[in-house]
Amino acid sequence: MTYNNFLEQARTSIIEYDDKKATEAAKQLLSMELAPLEIMEKGFIPGIAEVGEAFGLGRLFMPELIRAAKVMEAVTQLINQNVSQMDEQHKGVVMIATVKGDVHDIGKSIVVSMLQANGFTVHDLGRDASTDKIIEEAVRHEADIIGTSALLTTTMPKQKELEAELKKQGLKDRFKTIVGGAPVTSRWAERIGADAFAKDAQEAVIQVKKLLEM
Ligand code: B12
């Protein structure tokens, strides 16, 4: 089988909620030395995007969404473990979190892994993180950048809240901010006063480097 067959297997494994098939496809693709990010972007992400679309159209329901997400979470973890890390981690410190009220963290974990692979120190606060906690931890870890992920239109305002709170606490000049998540756009970033936006993990690395003038 060629890597295209395994990429197709990766996509269908998510749609079929088949963890064995997903693991096998991931292992085969890794053994073919396909880049981890490419495996995600060309294999598994199209699968979870299809599931999301079907859910949005009412063709799939919560139990199926959860089953697909579980397979996706496991395979993302497996792929992330295979992202080679730079020995030196002194390019800059990024504090990252999925905002309060939002438990979507698959995409954020890919961003974390790509940033680490590119030499950044990343503190990941996980999901459902309050604005106060994000700021507190950014101060504690002397972060250069704060990145937030929002996957729901109802949680995007938390990214705006962060900007407002940073301003209020006189910390806006101390941290650069970057926002992401499926419904987030560069327009939104501009509107709320975030310093950058990235549509995916690769772009996130580019934008973070730009923010740190690298
Ligand atoms: C998987 C999933 C779930 C899983 C999440 C599991 C997990 N651990 O993350 C579960 C089952 C828990 C879930 C729950 C819900 N979900 Co959901 N979910 C999805 C789904 C199908 C895929 C998301 C995903 O992982 N995509 C793959 C990753 C790789 O992509 P990504 O997240 O966009 O990340 C990339 C970029 O955005 C960017 N990025 C991401 N974060 C960041 C951060 C920074 C700083 C930067 C720079 C970049 C960046 O880089 C990433 C890598 O390329 C989406 C559909 C979709 N197309 O988004 C719906 C979706 C987001 N969910 C939706 C909904 C409605 C819900 C629920 C409310 C359902 C319910 N009735 O309960 C709950 C909400 C729970 C909550 N409070 O958060 C809606 C949201 C609609 C809306 N307009 O707000 C969507 C769009 C589905 C739909 N079509 O209706 N969901």
Q: Which of 81, 110, 145 is the last residue of a domain?
A: 81
Domain with residue 10: its CATH number is: 1.10.1240.10
Domain with residue 171: its CATH number is: 3.40.50.280
* Ligand 1: lining residues by beta carbon, under 6 Å: 45, 48-49, 51-52, 55-56, 62, 65-66, 69, 73, 96, 101-108, 110-111, 147-149, 151-153, 178-183, 198, 200-201, 204
* Count of domains forming the chain: 2
Residue whose CA is at the smallest distance from ligand 1 atom 53: 200
Domain span holding position 162: 93-211
CB–CB of 147/204 below 8 Å?
yes
- 138, 199: one domain: yes
Residues 161-166 have a mean pLDDT of: 98
- 196, 107: one domain: yes
- 121, 174: one domain: yes
Q: Which of 30, 55, 81 is the last residue of a domain?
A: 81
Cα 201 to the center of its chain, rounded Å? 7
- State the pLDDT confidence band at 213, using cuts at 50, 70 and 90: confident
In whole angstroms, what is the distance from residue 112 CA to residue 204 CA? 9
* DSSP-H helix ranges across 87-130: 106-117
Domain assignment present for 88: no
Q: Which of 81, 112, 137 is the last residue of a domain?
A: 81
- Percent of residues, the chain, with pLDDT higher than 90: 93
Q: Write the pLDDT tens digit of every residue in 37-58.
A: 999 999 999 999 999 999 999 9
Pocket test for ligand 1, best of 39, 50, 60, 65 (most atoms within 8 A of CB): 65
Q: Write the pLDDT tens digit of every residue in 86-98.
A: 766 678 999 999 9
